[in-house]
Amino acid sequence: MIDLLKVKDKNFVIMGVANERSLAWGVAKSLHQAGANLIFTYRKERSYTKLTKLLEKTDVEAQQVLACDVNDDESIKKAFSKIGEEAGIIHGVVHSIAFAHSEDLKNNFVNTTREGYAFAQDTSSYSLIAVAREAQPFMTEGGSIIAMSYLGAERVVEGYNVMGVAKAALESSVKYLAMDLGSSNIRVNAISAGAIKTLAAKGVPSFNEILHKIEETAPLKRNVTQEEVGDMSLAMLSNLSRGVTGEIVYVDSGYNILG
């Protein structure tokens, strides 16, 4: 078969696998099927344990597994210099990281605290800029960076609150980064994924309602899967999307087009 993807034996950094349901794990599975080399970063010890178990029980292999705390510039610098040392060239980065205090997703948006706002922005949005800056020196053959977003960035989705504002900043950052890094042939895009039951969605009281509404009303009349997000991510990381940058690509059964 002709190799249209051109990801085989290339090096991809995947940030944000917390467990089997993580979107980042979906991306890992798709990249692995296509023959890519995978480098994982984690923050929590718990995520490291889960990731190790996933790597044991599947045929997905890791070239490297490193700690990286995206709230800490030094930690990001250290992780990427270790990756650069061992892998040499980085061809792609998957940013699948977001966090906010649970009270900021439960309370009314008007009660968002200054600290909660800053924390959501720092973890979920600024981190992409810091990661792109540290990855760039190693992306000497050009490449692709993707981030994960959600419809709540542009529309009011009840309860998404401070995360919606953080994702709005993330989507805008994708566009400014695409402009900056374009001359190095590094593309930057976001996937706006439909609602999927991940660890992040746990504890969202209205989540089942959201899933049902999508089944009833979205053009495809069903919810999307982690694998579908993984496959579009693969496309955005691959040579197939070489003319696309600064874009927000929806993998959401078409739900976002509804009026």
Provide the minimum distance between the beta carbon of 167 and ligand 1JT in the complex, in angstroms, as a whole number: 7
Annotation marks residue 150 as catalytic: yes
Provide the minimum distance between the beta carbon of 105 and ligand 1JT in the complex, in angstroms, as a whole number: 4
Q: Which stretch binds ligand 1JT (CB under 6 A): 74-82, 136-144, 178-186, 194-202?
A: 194-202
Q: Is 177 in the site for ligand 1JT (CB under 6 A)?
A: no
Q: Is 99 in the site for ligand 1JT (CB under 6 A)?
A: yes
* Pick from 197, 258, 192: nearest CA to 225: 197
φ, ψ of residue 109 to 5 degrees: the values are -55, -35
Q: Is 159 in the site for ligand 1JT (CB under 6 A)?
A: yes
By beta carbon distance, the residue nearest ligand 1JT is 200
Q: Which stretch binds ligand 1JT (CB under 6 A): 75-83, 96-104, 212-220, 224-232?
A: 96-104
| Residue type at 246 in one-letter notation | G
Provide the minimum distance between the beta carbon of 198 and ligand 1JT in the complex, in angstroms, as a whole number: 7
Annotation marks residue 48 as catalytic: no
Q: Which residue has the tokens 């490291």?
A: 48
How many CB atoms are located within 10 Å of the residue 173 CB? 19
When binding is defined by CB under 6 A, the residue of 200, 218, 224, 235 that contacts ligand 1JT is: 200
Residues making contact with ligand 1JT (CB under 6 A): 98-100, 105, 150, 157-160, 163, 195, 200-201, 204, 206, 210
Q: Which residues are catalytic?
A: 150, 160
